[in-house]
Amino acid sequence: MSALFLEIHPKNPEERKIKQVIECLQDGGVIIYPTDTIYGLGCDLHNQRAIEKICQIKGIKPKKANFAFICNDLSHISEYARSLSNATFRLMKKALPGAFTFILQATNKVPKILDNNRKTIGIRVPDHPIPRIIVEKLGNPLITTSIHNDEDEYIEYTTDPELMYEKFKNTVDIVIDGGVGGIKPSTIVDCTNDDFEIVRQGAGILEDFV
């Protein structure tokens, strides 16, 4: 069965349509959704089957996956990240919501979820109403990855929801059209010590917040 193509208003997401997305995620569905940077591929972090499905779509093994968690705000963070210094917390509070993924030390909850031995986790709070309201209504973060591989050059389908739908309609459950996507991913910042190292420069400018 083909995926549902769902247009959602990017500034005022319709409650009825968000409810459809939540039901899909709770049933183990995988969605494509907009963020403040590029479109993402996501699922409920508590659904192992859905995580495995994302790994299949991306052609990666769960133990090798570099997933991030999409959160609505910083309230979930202590559950999944530990040893958060005051400097890191202050930086995240200033920079989020925004175009950053912060790498933090993971609690022992995270390896169980992802079926891997990783000691770190990426945390993302996008400055976009659609993913944040999805997470708020779902009640826990989404596991997320970008819809393209890092090795890919810029590809047109990554900004156009209709082209994403054509490419992924037989592998995901919902493609959300929240308007044209960006071409720059989030900036990845390693905060596992207080030296705030930029792992990947993307849309977020760290110097604005340090």
Q: What does the pLDDT read at residue 150?
A: 55
Six token digits for residue 152: 């890919």
Q: Which helix (H) or strand (E) holds 49?
A: helix 48-58
Instruction: Give me the pLDDT at residue 124, please.
Output: 96
* Category of 135 on φ-ψ map: left (φ > 0), alpha (ψ -120 to 50) or beta: alpha
Which tokens in the block code for residue 182?
A: 């960006």
Residue ranges in the chain modelled with pLDDT below 70: 149-157
Which pLDDT score is estimated for 186? 94
The predicted pLDDT at position 44 comes to: 97
DSSP letter (8 states) at residue 119: S
Instruction: Quote the pLDDT of residue 156.
Output: 63
Q: Is 42 helix (H, G, I), strand (E, B) or coil?
A: strand
Structure tokens belonging to residue 149:
């591989």
Q: How many residues does the chain have?
A: 210
* DSSP tag of 80: H
Q: What are the tens digits of pLDDT across the range 62-73?
A: 777 788 999 999
Per-residue pLDDT reduced to its tens digit, 77-115 = 888 998 889 999 999 999 999 999 999 999 988 878 887
Chain centroid to CA 204: 15
Provide the mean pLDDT of the chain.
91
- Record the pTM: 0.94
